[in-house]
C-alpha cells in the first residue's frame, strides 16, 4: 500500500472497542510518521453508538447514518459509500459493524476492506460464535482478521488469535477473553497492511 495519506475509515455499530484499540495503536506506533496513515473518520449505522462519542473526543471525524432511514440495503450502502469516499480511504475497517454488506459495496472496496470475526475462521461464521464453540465442545476459540468478500466471513485470513475454552465458560466469559486478543491482533493486522 504505497503512497502518502493512507486514510483509514472505521465502521462501528456500538462501543467501538476495536476501533479505539486501532486509534491508540496508530498513535503509539506513530503510523502517521511511519506510513502517512491516520484514522480519518469513524462512521456508525447507529447514532447512539458510544464509539462515536469517543472518536469525537479524539478529534476524529465521526458520523452516523441510520440504516433504518433507507428503503433498501442497497440505498443504505450507497449513502455509506458516499460518506466513506469523502475521506479517500486506503483502508475501510469493519470493527463491530453489524450489517451485512451488499456485493456492490464489497466490490467497491475490494482489496481495501477488512473485518474482525470472533471465531477461528473458517469455523463458526455468522453470529453466536462463542455459544456455538462451547456447545460443540471446542477446546479452543479465538478471533480472525480477514479480508472481506461477498461471502460472509470468508476471505483471506490476515491474523488469528487462539484462546482456550475453559471449563464452566459461558458465551459472555469466553467473549470477554477473546475480545482482549481482538484488541491486539486487529491493530497488528492493519499495521501490516499499511507497511506493504
Range of the domain at 17: 6-195
Taking each continuous run of H as one helix and of E as one strand, the counts in the chain are: 7, 7
* Domains contained in the chain, number: 1
Sign of the C-alpha dihedral computed for residues 56, 13, 173 and 181 taken in this order: negative
pLDDT tens per residue across span 62-99: 999 999 999 999 999 999 999 999 999 999 999 999 99
Residue of 117, 130, 146, 183 marked active site:
117
In eight-state DSSP terms, residue 147 is E
What's the confidence (pLDDT) of residue 151? Answer: 86
In eight-state DSSP terms, residue 60 is -
Is residue 185 in some structural domain? Answer: yes
What's the confidence (pLDDT) of residue 153? Answer: 87
- The CATH number for 11's domain is 3.40.50.170
What are the residues whose beta carbons fall under 8 Å from the beta carbon of 110, sequence distance 6 or more? none
164, 123 Cβ separation under 8 angstroms = no
The yes-or-no verdict on residue 115 having pLDDT over 70 is yes
pLDDT tens per residue across span 127-176: 999 999 999 999 999 999 999 998 888 899 999 999 999 999 999 999 99
* Mean pLDDT across 109-113: 96
**Does 117 qualify as catalytic in the annotation?**
yes
The distance between the two most distant Cα atoms of the chain, rounded to a whole number of Å, is 50
Cα separation of 91 and 147, whole Å?
A: 11
Cα separation of 80 and 100, whole Å?
A: 13
Is residue 68 in some structural domain? Answer: yes
What's the confidence (pLDDT) of residue 4? Answer: 62
Instruction: Give alpha helix (H) positions in the chain.
Output: 17-28, 31-35, 50-57, 73-85, 103-108, 129-135, 171-195
Is residue 1 in some structural domain? Answer: no
Which helix (DSSP H) or strand (DSSP E) does residue 11 occupy? strand 6-12
Is the entire prediction scored with pTM above 0.85?
A: yes
157, 121 Cβ separation under 8 angstroms = yes
* Mean pLDDT across 11-32: 97
pLDDT tens per residue across span 4-18: 689 999 999 999 999
Amino acid at each position: 500500500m504505497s503512497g502518502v495519506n493512507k486514510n483509514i475509515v472505521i465502521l462501528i455499530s456500538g462501543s467501538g472497542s476495536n476501533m479505539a484499540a486501532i486509534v491508540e495503536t496508530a498513535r503509539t506506533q506513530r503510523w502517521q510518521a511511519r506510513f502517512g496513515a491516520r484514522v480519518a473518520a469513524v462512521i456508525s449505522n447507529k447514532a447512539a453508538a458510544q464509539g462515536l462519542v469517543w472518536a469525537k473526543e479524539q478529534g476524529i471525524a465521526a458520523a452516523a447514518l441510520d440504516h433504518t432511514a433507507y428503503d433498501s440495503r442497497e440505498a443504505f450502502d450507497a449513502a455509506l459509500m458516499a460518506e466513506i469516499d469523502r475521506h479517500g480511504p486506503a483502508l475501510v475497517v469493519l470493527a463491530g459493524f453489524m450489517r451485512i454488506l451488499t456485493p456492490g459495496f464489497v466490490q467497491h472496496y475490494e482489496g481495501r476492506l477488512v473485518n474482525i470475526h470472533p471465531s477461528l475462521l473458517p469455523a463458526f461464521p455468522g453470529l453466536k460464535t462463542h455459544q456455538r464453540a462451547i456447545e460443540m465442545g471446542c477446546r479452543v476459540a479465538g478471533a480472525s482478521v480477514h479480508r472481506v468478500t461477498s461471502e460472509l466471513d470468508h476471505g483471506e485470513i490476515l491474523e488469528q488469535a487462539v484462546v482456550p475454552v475453559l471449563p464452566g465458560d459461558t458465551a459472555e466469559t469466553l467473549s470477554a477473553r477473546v475480545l482482549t486478543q481482538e484488541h491486539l491482533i486487529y491493530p497488528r493486522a492493519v499495521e501490516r497492511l499499511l507497511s506493504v
